[in-house]
């Protein structure tokens, strides 16, 4: 095959200059878009020889990336869309970042999870730096997909995440102990609300119960006029001692201060508290209380603007 290099260089604006992108653009013109589209489709088919077609795409990345994206965007076959997004892990460069928000918003969990592998591979190859993906991951900290959420939290605040599983486990254990102890004393109470207040800056985790026996209308229980609303509850900010909870609170405060008291770290702890309350053990012990039909659990960020988001419902 003869190539008119002067004509090609003129076409792509490379008469007196060169870049890797120009070289890739030239290859795409020489081989033709159909070559890359067919290579992508064959790699997805997993038929004999698919490893070779994928290998070529890896060498010539990111020329297969846009064809993978086109399949994701236009195919009505879910499996094809999943495979195309997965293949982008191997055939992309930093330009894949512009597609990540769409993958995160896709209703399919497998496509959502693929961003973890794509970004991890791009970081490994050095195509992107951590700071390049922080804005994307900050928006994914509360993503409904647990794997995406954990990856986002881990990358945004890598130091704290290494101890977070233990934090959640120990907090859940301490909550169970405390709820078990209070259960007998609340035997004749009807519980309308359970609030867990997470205050990393103070190293505090507070327990409060909203009952049917309050000296105000229950509709005012979470009044915007009261900054620390649970202070008005009859059973607000209950005493809570013991080695388990003290060690949890101490570690939380230390890690929060280490982060420079970042908002990302605060989000991390609020979500961790919600995970602890949602644990099997805590949910089981709560069911042994006399819960009203409108019973709810609340975990709020008091530093945020009102109305507060309930992290338990995220």
Q: What is the pLDDT of residue 19?
A: 67
Q: What is the pLDDT of residue 209?
A: 93
Q: What is the pLDDT of residue 258?
A: 78
Q: What is the pLDDT of residue 165?
A: 76
Q: How far apart are CA 199 and CA 314, in angstroms?
A: 19
The first and second tokens of residue 308, run together, are 């507060």
Q: What is the pLDDT of residue 157?
A: 58
Which of 144, 181, 146, 142 shows the shortest CA–CA distance to 165? 146
Q: What is the pLDDT of residue 224?
A: 62
The first and second tokens of residue 211, run together, are 């009952």
Which of 242, 269, 253, 233 shows the shortest CA–CA distance to 179? 242
Q: What is the pLDDT of residue 90?
A: 87
**Cα 213 versus chain centre, distance:** 39
Q: What is the pLDDT of residue 3?
A: 77
Q: How far apart are CA 279 and CA 96, in angstroms?
A: 36
The first and second tokens of residue 135, run together, are 């804005």
Which of 136, 46, 59 shows the shortest CA–CA distance to 97? 136
290-304 in b/e form (b: 16+ CB < 10 A) is eeeeeebbbbbbeee
Q: Residue 90 CB: number of other CB atoms within 10 A? A: 19
Looking at the chain, list the stretches that DSSP marks H as alpha helix, in order from N- to C-terminal side. Answer: 5-12, 20-31, 33-45, 50-59, 65-74, 78-91, 100-105, 109-125, 130-138, 146-156, 158-161, 164-185, 243-258, 263-277, 280-286
User: Could you tell me the mean pLDDT of each successive run of 10 residues in the chain, 314 residues long?
Assistant: 79 75 79 84 87 84 87 94 92 90 93 87 78 81 83 63 76 93 91 93 92 83 66 84 85 84 83 94 95 93 78 84
Backbone angles phi, psi at 125, to 5 degrees: -75, -15
- pTM for the full model? 0.52
* 22 Cβ contact list (under 8 Å, min separation 6): 12, 13, 14
**Cα 291 versus chain centre, distance:** 31
Angle at 128 (CA atoms; ends 20, 66), nearest 5 degrees: 60
Strand partners, 191: 211, 291
Which of 250, 283, 241 shows the shortest CA–CA distance to 167? 250
């Amino acid at each position: 095959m003869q190539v008119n290099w002067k004509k090609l260089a003129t076409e792509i604006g490379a008469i007196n200059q060169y870049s890797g992108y120009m070289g890739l653009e030239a290859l795409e013109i020489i081989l033709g878009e159909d070559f890359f589209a067919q290579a992508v489709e064959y790699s997805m088919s997993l038929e004999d020889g698919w490893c070779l077609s994928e290998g070529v795409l890896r060498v010539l990345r990111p020329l297969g990336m846009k064809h993978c994206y086109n399949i994701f965007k236009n195919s009505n076959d879910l499996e094809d869309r999943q495979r195309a997004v997965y293949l982008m892990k191997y055939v992309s460069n930093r330009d894949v970042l512009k597609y990540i928000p769409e993958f995160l918003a896709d209703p399919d969990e497998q496509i959502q999870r693929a961003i973890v592998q794509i970004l991890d591979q791009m970081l490994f190859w050095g195509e992107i730096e951590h700071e390049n993906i922080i804005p994307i991951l900050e928006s994914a900290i509360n993503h409904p997909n647990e794997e995406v959420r954990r990856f986002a939290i881990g990358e945004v605040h890598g130091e704290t995440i290494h101890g977070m599983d233990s934090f959640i486990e120990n907090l859940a254990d301490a909550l169970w102990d405390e709820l078990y102890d209070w259960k007998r004393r609340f035997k004749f109470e009807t519980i309308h609300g359970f609030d867990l207040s997470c205050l990393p800056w103070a190293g505090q985790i507070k327990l409060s119960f909203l009952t049917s026996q309050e000296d105000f209308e229950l509709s005012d229980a979470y009044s915007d006029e009261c900054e620390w609303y649970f202070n008005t509850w009859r059973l607000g900010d209950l005493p809570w001692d013991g080695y388990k909870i003290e060690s949890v609170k101490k570690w939380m405060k230390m890690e929060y201060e280490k982060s420079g008291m970042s908002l990302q770290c605060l989000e991390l702890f609020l979500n961790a508290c919600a995970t602890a309350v949602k644990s099997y053990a805590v949910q089981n012990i709560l069911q042994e209380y006399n819960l009203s039909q409108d019973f709810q659990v609340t975990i709020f960020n008091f530093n945020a603007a009102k109305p507060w988001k309930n992290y338990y419902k995220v």
